[in-house]
Structure 1
């Protein structure tokens, strides 16, 4: 015999940064990046600098990343409905995944272009590169600072900020390239060399963020939650004989969910046991959404053998038996 109890705490743990202020910040950053992109493209074509053109391409990706991030925030604010019962918050994680993939792709493209420029060097006007690079660096740093204030608790905004940080590093590299080439015209190889450095930095940012986004989208257990510890928490509640079939995943970046089978000694006391379990899950592991199926401890079929029950995520029995209640 089993009874299923489901409780969804509708607490919004998402920071307020995902609200109107974050959207205004993103819109301002989008405008700045688009304007800077066209400035760099023109400057790159006039000066002949590949690193400047590479930086402009990355800036264009910044603008695209910010557009995706902004759209994801708007979608994520939609309330849950019959088709998306957990809501739309994962739209931001999907946006982060897209941005990380784009980041890696751009890095690979820049590496290819740098190799080609090594093999086929071109004359470069250093002073134009210096002027454009200084402007780009100022815009990149200002944009990154704006997004940083809203990115601490959002994978989506962290991905967008990664674009801007990488581009700020790129602007520094382009500036160094321009200064060197301005004074030493024969060192044009510096331009593709720094382009390659920008590319590797960009690829590194993308590869760092990709696993996190994929883990969340695949319903992986949150990194800060240890499943055996959660199982121990449940099994330690008075009246619980055993906990098994425990599954934990993230609804979005801020909310974790759990489902579990709980074998109890007395089914008449499941309300108090349920309340104790939910409080412990919230207090110790910040799990606010849980579905618990209660099973009768008198039914021997509810005690599963870990060696033969292949479908369970975790199976744990308290180390000490629960004392019999006295009449």
Structure 2
């Protein structure tokens, strides 16, 4: 089955990302001030999350710019993978923030402090509006960029966090339940850590040259070996060059009657149409010239003699 993807177009949506960054930075400042005045840890926790989102958007914005650069002598595959690197940085930062918030929330349980509920509700209400606005700005872009998608999901998480903070402030006003504030902080931190742990493996898969999760490599091998003229395949490498670009290289053993040029073209067309492989490199071999190492997936590693 072919897989269609939306690719990043040059300069597409840059102004929206820049505006989203400005909104999140302004929100972070307002929440930190409100949290200090109100004595609310949960409000400061939400501010730190918003700050991490702003930083994530800045990194994603820069990565989008770099990713558009064409391949050159230093980066022969191009610069697309910089977006995966940026995403890894963003999620790593989120994990650090999440653990810090857990630490602060536990300390607040041990040493409770008074919080001003109405300030929490007011500032968190503003935060909720800005979170939703930022999510709206990045929604369409999130379909084509792993960085922007992460930022979009973060803003939805922020919106949920703002709802939780509003609830905490309301309970403080109505019932004087100050313990709800650190509890809300624990929930926000837990969500941050859960979200990061869920998304990071996808980024690592790209950086580790993993095969696309939607493709079954055995299905690809079967399709190749069922191609008329093909006897067997080996040394297959299937990997993601970037979030949307799949590549394959392989050694193909063909029978004597097959035309190597026509067979190569047939296989390339099949890989593109059926599996969405945009870049394929094929080495065609006759049975008598087949290389001795015939590992089907990958190749045998040779130790370096000292």
RMSD (Å) for aligned C-alpha atoms: 1.8
Superposed CA deviations along residues 79-100 of structure 1, whole A, max 9, x for unmatched, are: 1111111110111111111111
- 2:231 corresponds to which of 234, 241, 262: 241
2:24 matches 1:40: no
Query: 1:163, CA displacement in angstroms?
Result: 2.1
Correspondence for 1:324: none
CA distance in 2, matches of 1:73, 1:292: 31
Q: How does 1:119-134 map to 2 (within 5 A)?
A: 119-134=110-125
Query: 1:20, CA displacement in angstroms?
Result: 2.3
Correspondence for 1:325: none
Q: Which moved more, 1:43-52 or 1:161-170?
A: 161-170
- 1:194 corresponds to which of 184, 200, 208: 184
CA distance in 2, matches of 1:267, 1:154: 45
- 1:162 corresponds to which of 153, 170, 175: 153
Correspondence for 1:82: 73
Q: 1:17 to 1:245 in 2, by over 3 A?
A: closer
2:144 matches 1:153: yes
CA distance in 1, matches of 2:187, 2:273: 46
Superposed CA deviations along residues 225-278 of structure 1, whole A, max 9, x for unmatched, are: 111111111111111111111110011011111110111112771011011101
Correspondence for 1:136: 127
Q: Is contact 1:61-1:163 (8 Å) kept?
A: no
Q: Is contact 2:41-2:185 (8 Å) kept?
A: yes
- 1:274 corresponds to which of 248, 261, 264: 264
Query: 1:314, CA displacement in angstroms?
Result: 6.7
Q: Is contact 1:140-1:165 (8 Å) kept?
A: yes
If the length of structure 1 is used for normalisation, what is the TM-score? 0.86
2:136 matches 1:118: no
2:37 matches 1:49: no
CA distance in 2, matches of 1:222, 1:130: 44
Query: 1:18, CA displacement in angstroms?
Result: 4.8
CA distance in 1, matches of 2:156, 2:98: 14
Q: Is contact 2:42-2:185 (8 Å) kept?
A: yes
Q: Which moved more, 1:103-112 or 1:67-76?
A: 103-112
CA distance in 1, matches of 2:155, 2:147: 13
If the length of structure 2 is used for normalisation, what is the TM-score? 0.92
Unaligned ranges ≥5, structure 1: 1-12, 316-327
2:186 matches 1:214: no
Correspondence for 1:253: 243
Q: Is contact 2:234-2:294 (8 Å) kept?
A: no
Query: 1:153, CA displacement in angstroms?
Result: 2.8
Q: 1:267 to 1:255 in 2, by over 3 A?
A: farther
Correspondence for 1:176: 167
CA distance in 2, matches of 1:44, 1:177: 13
CA distance in 2, matches of 1:138, 1:111: 26
Q: Is contact 2:245-2:277 (8 Å) kept?
A: yes
Q: 1:107 to 1:152 in 2, by over 3 A?
A: same
Correspondence for 2:302: none
Correspondence for 1:109: 100
Give the secondary structure class of the aligned counterpart of 1:20: coil
Superposed CA deviations along residues 291-313 of structure 1, whole A, max 9, x for unmatched, are: 1111112x1x6286xxxx58541
